[in-house]
Chains A and B, each alone.
Chain A
Amino acid sequence: MATAFGSQFSALRGRRRERWSDLSPMRKREAKFGFLFIAPWFIGVLLFALFPFIASFVLSFTKYNIVAPPEWVGIEHYEHIFTDDPLFLKSLKNTAVYVGGSVAIRILLGFGLALLLNTKVRFLGLWRTLFYVPSVVPIVALSIVWLYVLNARAGLLNWFLGFFGISRIRWFADPDFAMLAFLIMSTTWVGVTMVIFLAGLQGIPEEYYDAAKIDGANMAQRLWRVTIPLMTPTIYLNVLINIIGAFQVFTQVFIMTGGAPRDATRTYVLHLFDHAFQYLPPQMGYSSALAWILFMIIFAFTAVIVASSQRWVFYQGAED
């Protein structure tokens, strides 16, 4: 999959830029249609992504309560965040735990499921659908369902754990278990990761496995020596997508716990949201500063992963 992306980019890079006047009437018409079709997306990005992106950066240096014009305060918010906001570190730590846990769960479980569903089992389509469907359920509805599943007194999970002699766990009342509950919930979206892995697995030529078998490789060796190296572009993609998404975890926490108990589930975006929309006076400037710090953290993680990818991501047919 990543190989396909790579070859397309290479093709684009190699193409000579054509002037508008050089285009044939047919190509001009095609180009006009092209621009027309991307216009809604482009306008949307400008209005709802790029403009707020830049505006939030400017606002992060202001005191802005929404009802009055912003007032310039320089780097005051950034100073306060790093020196006098105990919930900044707490929420960042909680988010880091969620990122680490949920990304590991989704990658390992998604990869495992994809391997299983890449075999010739009965009702393959049904299994694939069953694992993918939860990912398309609205998160609010999912949150309500998980509240029931993780209910300490009458929840399905505690009932199940009871068969193994595990005493009732107070998932959302015990600070030691609350984040674990959200990590368990994160398995809901494993279907998305699984589908991407499946696409990657199906791109591995069968000849490699045949050759490995002839060389006497057993199943584990084929997995370790053939599948995983050839899947590194897909693993890379999934890790990136999941890390970026996990850092922004908000909706389920907002609905299910609001950060309780003892702020054990107070995630970074929830903290940011409270400053913007829950407190009076609203602290939009402060909230924007928090948002930009999160952006820089995600950016740094992404940069490190991208930079390190040269060492551990292998593309089929690529030269060293």
Chain B
Amino acid sequence: MFRKRTLLLAILVIIFALVPLSMTATAQNPDCEGDVTLTYWHHWGGNRIPLQEHQVAAFEDAHPGICVDNVFLPWDNRLQNLLAAIAAGNPPDVTMFGRQDLPFFAATESIIPLDDYMAADGVDPAIFHPSEFAGTQFNGKTWLLPLPGGGAYNIVWYNTDHFAEAGIESFPETWDEMLEAAETLRLGDGEFLERIGLNAQSTSGAGGFLTWLNANGGDWITPDLRTITINNEEGAQALEFMQAMAEINYGIQEVNAFWEMAGEFDQGPLIQGLVSMEINGSWTLFQVEAHAENLSYDVAPIPYGPNGSADRRGSAHGGWGYMVPKNAAHPDEAWKLVKWLTTEVEGDGACWFIQQQQRPSPLVECNGYEKDGVVHPRAEALLGVAALDYLVPVSPVQPEANQIIGRMVEDVLFGDSSIEDALASAEAEIQELLDAFWEEYG
């Protein structure tokens, strides 16, 4: 009797001890029945979550026997989660993946090349826009398929009411015009802001620097990804522009303090009226329509700098895709899901998902701005801006490089370093990291 009680107690203790280990956040369709359950990680937050759920349910309907654990994870912790899962030998079957992270994962072959699957299923690279497909390549292999479109990451969204009130009739084309407009649009008492014309640091690309460098005709890294090239006239002019813009906005500290009011989605700075101009990606259209349908706005390409040109404005830094980790439990089925998420045009897959958000599609055959047979009235303007995009290469040490460049920008804007010293120091620091990478993985 005593032994039985002891045994029962021991079992209970062990069960209670192990329960926390088995708890995971899952969003699995309870109606799905299948022999294989794929674990799928993505970072589509906010009002894209229901679109993801619909897309995954459509995949399950089209692929009987395969179910999907649809797991939303925050973007900020993506590497932490992925690396921990790979280290534990339990990675997801499919995961959304920043193209800027590709070189390291491909160089270490910790993800599966997709070329054989593509050949077997007749997935022709030509179904993607060439610049989109180019971002999926490393060492001559295809490691992920793109979605969403990497282009149109840097569009100027501006409040036309603010422009009308300020008497600005045409959108600035050059940096000098941009500075003048930003000063006219800014509201404040000389010390504290009430409205920002433009926050030059709020764009993607390492504290905004890479965006402005690109708009000034500069390349931050050579095409072979081996040499950093920011310490030059284009780089110096980009920093001077950012410095001038910060001064218009009463200095970097006030800009950053004011920016604490801005958030994501319905808390976006343009939606809240905190700014007159916001540089953001094509996804902003979906956000504006969901949260501020009465906002009077228009879009324009980023103004170009003194060494820039009118036909190279915005920049795409990497973009996204879907990949299959090396130790995925079900790689063959995982490929089917990747294909659905990136190439499907007929069912509620890749094309449908992009169209619901009204943003550029990496698929040639899919017009991302056509929803339910109707082309969005802003489509022409947005695609016109996207046409001036330039694909900025990403380095194998991008996360740390971004931090170094961000620190360089702060050094200058806080007045702790001259532009020349800051550029030279950052270039040397990133080059050292890059050399170490290629020495080990090249």
By a CB distance below 8 angstroms, the chain A residues around B108 are 65, 67-68, 281
Q: A43 to B14: give the CA distance in the assembly, Å.
A: 10
Residues A151 and B260 in contact in the complex (CB < 8 Å), given A280-B398, A281-B437: yes
Report whether A262 and B416 are in contact in the complex, using a CB–CB cutoff of 8 Å: yes
Report the Cα distance A199→B346, complex, angstroms.
69
A277 touches B80 (CB 8 A): yes
Which residues in chain B, 52-81, are within 8 Å of chain A measured between CB atoms?
77, 79-80
Q: Which residue of B13, B84, B101, B192 is within 8 Å of A280 (Cβ)? A: B101
In the complex, how many residue pairs between chain A and chain B have their CB atoms under 8 Å apart? Answer: 104
**Contact: B396 with A36, CB < 8 Å?**
no
* Complex Cα–Cα for A143 and B356 (A): 34
Residue of A nearest to B80 (CB): A277
**Cβ contacts A23-44/B at 8 Å (1 or 0 each):** 0000001001100110110011
A170 touches B254 (CB 8 A): yes
For B17, list chain A residues within 8 Å (CB): 39-40, 43-44
Shortest beta-carbon distance from B150 to chain A in Å: 19
Cα of A174 to Cα of B252 in the assembled complex, Å? 9
Given A151-B261, A277-B80, A278-B79, A261 contacting B254 (CB threshold 8 A): no
CB of B442 to closest CB in A, whole Å: 13
Q: Is the interface of B mostly helix, strand, loop or mixed?
A: helix
CB distance from A68 to the nearest CB of B (A): 6
Task: Return chain B residues, CB-CB under 8 Å to A33.
Answer: 6, 9
Q: Is the CB of B256 within 8 A of A170?
A: yes
Please state if A282 and B83 are interface contacts (CB–CB under 8 Å): yes
Point out the residues of chain A lying under 8 angstroms from B261, CB to CB: 151, 153-154
CB-contacts of A154-210 with B (<8 A)? 154, 168, 170-175
- Kindly provide the distance from the CB of A176 to the nearest chain B CB, expressed in whole angstroms: 10
Contact yes or no, A280 B399, CB < 8 A: yes
**Structural contact, B260 and A147, CB atoms closer than 8 A:** yes
Residues of A within 8 A of B14 (CB): 40
Q: Could you tell me if A280 and B396 are in contact, using CB atoms closer than 8 angstroms?
A: yes
Interface extent on A, as a size class?
35 or more
> Interface size class for chain B?
35 or more
Contact A173 B410 (CB under 8 A): no
Bound Cα distance A40, B440 (Å) = 43
Question: In the complex, are the beta carbons of B16 and A261 less than 8 A apart?
Answer: no
Chain A neighbourhood of B79, CB < 8 A: 277-278, 280, 282
A143 CB to closest chain B CB (Å) equals 13
A66 to B84, CA, bound (A): 8
Q: Are B400 and A172 in contact (CB under 8 A)?
A: no
Residue of A nearest to B397 (CB): A280
Q: Is the CB of A168 within 8 A of B403?
A: no
Beta-carbon contacts under 8 Å, B71-113 to A: 77, 79-80, 83-84, 86-87, 101, 103-105, 108, 110
The interface residues of chain B lying within 8 Å CB-to-CB of A278 are 79-80, 399-400, 403
A2 to chain B, nearest CB (A): 32
Q: How far is the CA of A44 from the CA of B14 in the complex (A)?
A: 11
B1-47: which residues lie under 8 A (CB-CB) from chain A?
2, 6, 9-10, 13-14, 16-17
Q: What are the residues of chain A within 8 A of B258 when measuring CB–CB?
A: 152-153
Output the nearest chain A residue to B9 by Cβ-Cβ distance. A36
Known: A274-B403, A278-B399. A67 touches B253 (CB 8 A): no
Contact across chains for B414 and A170 when beta carbons are under 8 A apart:
no
Q: Decide: A39 and B253 in contact? CB cutoff 8 A.
A: no
Give the Cβ gap from B322 to chain A, nearest Cβ, in Å: 19
Does B407 touch A at the CB level, under 8 Å?
yes
B6, B86, B105, B257: the one within 8 Å of A173 (CB):
B257
Using Cβ atoms and an 8 Å threshold, which residues of chain B touch A280?
A: 79, 101, 103-104, 396-400
Which of A152, A170, A261, A281 is in CB contact (< 8 Å) with B104?
A281
Whether A261 contacts B256 in the complex (CB less than 8 A), given A67-B108, A154-B261, A280-B399, comes out as yes
User: B407, A36: Cβ atoms under 8 Å?
Assistant: no
A281 to B396, CA, bound (A): 8
Q: Are the C-beta atoms of A173 and B254 separated by less than 8 Å? A: yes
In the bound assembly, the distance between CA atoms of A262 and B413 in angstroms comes to 10
Measured in the bound complex, the distance between the Cα atoms of B108 and A89 in whole Å is: 32
> In the complex the two chains form, what is the Cα distance from A157 to B382 in whole Å?
43
Q: Give complex CA distance A154, B262 in Å.
A: 12
Docked-complex contact B6 and A152, CB < 8 angstroms: no
Q: Mark A1-37, 1 if CB is under 8 A from B, else 0.
A: 0000000000000000000000000000100110011
Interface centre among B256, B396, B441 (most CB of A within 10 A): B256
A64 to B410, CA, bound (A): 31
Q: Considering only CB atoms, which chain A residue lies closest to B102 in the complex?
A: A280
Tell me the B294-317 residues at the A interface (CB within 8 Å).
none
Residue-by-residue, is B427-442 near A (CB-CB < 8 Å gives 1, otherwise 0)? 0000000000100110
Q: List 5 A-B contacts (CB under 8 A).
A: A153-B258, A170-B253, A170-B254, A279-B397, A280-B104
Extra contacts, 16 of them, besides A154-B261, A277-B79, A277-B83 (Cβ < 8 A), are A36-B10, A37-B13, A39-B13, A152-B257, A153-B257, A168-B257, A170-B254, A170-B256, A173-B252, A173-B255, A260-B256, A278-B79, A278-B399, A278-B400, A281-B437, A282-B79
| Chain A contact residues, CB within 8 Å of chain B | 29, 32-33, 36-37, 39-40, 43-44, 65-68, 147, 151-154, 168, 170-175, 260-263, 274, 277-282
Across the A-B interface, give the 5 residue pairs with the lowest CB-CB distance, nearest first: A152-B257, A173-B256, A40-B17, A170-B257, A277-B80
